[in-house]
Amino acid sequence: MARVYNFSAGPAMLPQAVIERAQAEMLDWHGSGMSVMEMSHRGKEYMSIAEKAEADLRELMAIPANYKVLFLQGGASSQFAMIPMNLLGGRAADYIVTGTWGKKAIAEAARFGRANCAADTGVGGRYTSVPSQAELKLDPGAAYLHYTPNETVDGVEFPYIPEAGAVPLVADFSSSILSCPIDVSRYGLIYAGAQKNIGPAGLTIVIVRDDLIGHAMPGTPTMFDYAIHADNDSMYNTPATYAWYLAGLVFEWLKGQGGVAGIAEVNRRKAEKLYAAIDATDFYANPVVTECRSRMNVVFTLADSTLDERFLAEAKALGLTTLKGHRIVGGMRASLYNAMPEAGVDALVAFMADFAQRNG
Ligand SMILES: *Cc1c(COP(=O)(O)O)cnc(C)c1O
């Protein structure tokens, strides 16, 4: 069996230990005589799996008691609609746009009410920086302020938490949740699709402060109302049971890595090594302002783009896969989520130096 170092932006690598554990428990979970996939979500066994996953996530992120954790479906993209439907309350919302996903989020919000652009750092559709706090055009009467701490396509990460005063801060943490400690109490709502740093696709996590629940706009579909899911412990309908279970295994694994603080240190080293390799030669370049460089999604170009295909093919032959950049940005992108071992980054860095030497 040859496992590769998969630099995909999502669905992304999972820790091998987690997949092995799932494999061992596949046919008969803890003597139940069935796979987790076959369990009733309301049965005692599955309830214990679901509750442990939530408890471990609460512990990992130190989530205060006045926040609900919802295990939903529909991806982060459904949250682009669910957030305005539940939080707008007839007011306007502010959006900071620093990349491809933020642009989609504000466009969706505009379908439900007024979505003001507090800042947009795009130049010709490309994003390489974030605005400073002073540059934000904030409405003190806004229903919420939305931003994207890490823009997955553009490789742009906020080096600070925007200050919104009394306005609830809403953050799309899809590609950076659990990668470093977050002060949850600074936020009104945090959401993330699972397929980057949590588990398999199909699960969406929403962490929402109690006072923001129960204000859905008239006409909100039942399944899009946070109150319905909060009141039913995310079991109003059948949740993504297997994805929830696997997320729980990832949370357990992460606790064994020294928790979020422990993995943050590894993530910092991985990103530093890769950016150092890019900066070491004119053969490679990263366009992002240094302090806004993403730790999770490292984008880079080759000075001679006619070498792109050869770079990708040779990397793949060495077991370094899915390095092609997003079609909007081009070039390369290496995603370094929690499950990417440091050895994978070391192998990529060694290949890049060798490739540059042979082709530079
Ligand atoms: C991947 C991603 C999304 C889209 O997630 P889906 O689960 O596919 O809807 C949204 N925002 C960010 C920051 C992402 O990385």
Query: pLDDT of 31-46, one tens digit each?
Result: 999 999 999 999 999 9
Q: What's the pLDDT tens digit per position in 67-102? A: 999 999 999 999 999 999 999 999 999 999 999 999
Q: What pLDDT shows up at residue 6?
A: 98
Residue 70 is assigned to a structural domain of this protein: yes
Residue 12 is assigned to a structural domain of this protein: no
Q: 2 falls in which pLDDT band (50, 70, 90)?
A: confident
Q: What is the CATH number of the domain that holds 305?
A: 3.90.1150.10
User: Domain end: 256, 271, 301, which one?
Assistant: 256
Considering the domain architecture, whether residues 251 and 305 belong to the same structural domain is answered as no
**Structural domain range at position 237:** 19-256
Considering the domain architecture, whether residues 238 and 154 belong to the same structural domain is answered as yes
Residue 10 Cβ < 6 Å to ligand 1: yes
Considering the domain architecture, whether residues 308 and 179 belong to the same structural domain is answered as no
Residue 32 is assigned to a structural domain of this protein: yes
Residue 38 is assigned to a structural domain of this protein: yes
Which residues are 191's β-sheet partners? 172, 206
Considering the domain architecture, whether residues 174 and 301 belong to the same structural domain is answered as no
Ligand 1 nearest-atom number relative to CA 99:
13
Backbone torsions φ then ψ of 83, nearest 5 degrees: -65, -55
Considering the domain architecture, whether residues 347 and 294 belong to the same structural domain is answered as yes
Residue 36 is assigned to a structural domain of this protein: yes
Residue 285 is assigned to a structural domain of this protein: yes
Q: Is the dihedral of CA 271, 200, 159, 261 positive or negative?
A: negative
Between β-strands 145-147 and 169-172, what pairing exists: parallel, antiparallel or unpaired? parallel
> For the chain, how many structural domains are there in total?
2
- Separation of CA 353 and ligand 1 centre (Å): 32
Residue 158 Cβ < 6 Å to ligand 1: no
Residue 56 Cβ < 6 Å to ligand 1: no
Question: Which pTM was predicted?
Answer: 0.98
Q: What pLDDT shows up at residue 1?
A: 61
Name the catalytic one among 172, 225, 244, 270: 172
Alpha-carbon distance of 260 to 256, in angstroms, equals 10
Considering the domain architecture, whether residues 144 and 173 belong to the same structural domain is answered as yes
Considering the domain architecture, whether residues 318 and 343 belong to the same structural domain is answered as yes
- Separation of CA 173 and ligand 1 centre (Å): 9
Q: What's the pLDDT tens digit per position in 296-340? A: 999 999 999 999 999 999 999 999 999 999 988 889 999 999 999
Q: Which amino acid is at 8?
A: S
Considering the domain architecture, whether residues 180 and 272 belong to the same structural domain is answered as no
Considering the domain architecture, whether residues 160 and 294 belong to the same structural domain is answered as no
Residue 248 is assigned to a structural domain of this protein: yes
Residue 156 Cβ < 6 Å to ligand 1: no
Residue 226 Cβ < 6 Å to ligand 1: no
- Separation of CA 306 and ligand 1 centre (Å): 30
Mean pLDDT over each residue of the chain, to the nearest integer = 97
Q: What is the CATH number of the domain that holds 175?
A: 3.40.640.10
Alpha-carbon distance of 97 to 4, in angstroms, equals 34
Considering the domain architecture, whether residues 149 and 209 belong to the same structural domain is answered as yes
Nearest CA to ligand 1 atom 7: 75
User: Domain end: 226, 256, 286, which one?
Assistant: 256
- SS3 percent helix, strand, coil of the chain, rounded to 5, is 40, 15, 45
Residue showing tokens 């701490």: 149
Share of the chain above pLDDT 90, in %: 98
Residue 193 Cβ < 6 Å to ligand 1: yes
Q: What's the pLDDT tens digit per position in 231-278? A: 999 999 999 999 999 999 999 999 999 999 999 999 999 999 999 999
Ligand 1 nearest-atom number relative to CA 75:
7
Alpha-carbon distance of 215 to 87, in angstroms, equals 7
Backbone torsions φ then ψ of 125, nearest 5 degrees: 80, 0
In 3D space, the residue among 325, 309, 348 whose CA is nearest the CA of residue 4 turns out to be: 348
Say how many Å lie between the first and final Cα of the chain, rounded.
34
Residue 9 is assigned to a structural domain of this protein: no
User: Domain end: 234, 256, 278, which one?
Assistant: 256
Q: What's the pLDDT tens digit per position in 185-209? A: 999 999 999 999 999 999 999 999 9
Q: What's the pLDDT tens digit per position in 242-254? A: 999 999 999 999 9
Q: What pLDDT shows up at residue 360?
A: 87
